[in-house]
Amino acid sequence: MRRTVTALVISALALVAVLAANAAATKTVTFEVALKGKNEAPAAPASNKGKVELKLNTATGKVCWEFALAKIDGKPNQAHIHKGKVGVSGNVVVPLGANYKRQGCTKAAPSLVKSIAGHPRAYYVNVHNAKHPLGAMRGQL
């Protein structure tokens, strides 16, 4: 009887440890980013403003977003996460949809998502439109 109880306790503890490890490995980091036209390089109209909420899952590489654009001088056509410091244009590292979508999710390499979450100031989000193909508004993470 004691062996059975001991085996059940050990099994339960092992299950708890596995569940705790899985919960710790699934880490979601959230960023609220203010987007402004004046942050672009070259600058877009200061009246272009909005925000984006990004949710990055560092374990799976899932990247979700939701934009709230207050004003933009033209229809948005693309949005991306770029690598680049303040005032510096950088390469796209995560396209946020093939065309502009107010909200959605995509996948990226978990190592890239971990890098973004670990060094957010090295990355920015911007929204593009026909008038400003290099970016209509931008915000550093």
Asked, for residue 3, whether it belongs to a domain, the answer is no
Determine if the peptide bond prior to 42 is cis (ω within 30°): yes
**Dihedral-angle region of residue 97 (phi above 0 means left; psi in -120 to 50 means alpha; beta otherwise):** left
How far is residue 134 from each of residues 46, 87, 91, 100, 125, measured CA to CA in Å? Answer: 15, 13, 11, 14, 12
Q: What is the pLDDT of residue 26?
A: 57
Over residues 35-93, the pLDDT tens digits come to 999 999 888 999 999 999 999 999 999 999 999 999 999 999 999 999 999 989 999 99
Structural domain includes residue 123: yes
In a domain, 65, yes or no: yes
Domain housing 128: 27-140
Distance of alpha carbon 36 from alpha carbon 16, whole angstroms? 46
**Residue 90 covered by a domain:** yes
Would 22 be classed as within a structural domain? no
Q: Which residues contact residue 95 at a Cβ distance below 8 angstroms, ignoring those fewer than 6 apart? A: 78, 80, 106
- Quick check: is 8 in a domain? no
Give me the number of domains the chain comprises. Answer: 1
Rounded Cα distance, 4 and 108, in Å? 46
Residues in the chain: 141
**Whole-number mean pLDDT of the chain?**
86
Whether 1 is in a domain gets the answer no
Find how far residue 60's CA is from the centre of its chain.
12
Q: Is residue 124 part of a domain?
A: yes
Mean pLDDT of 9-33: 56
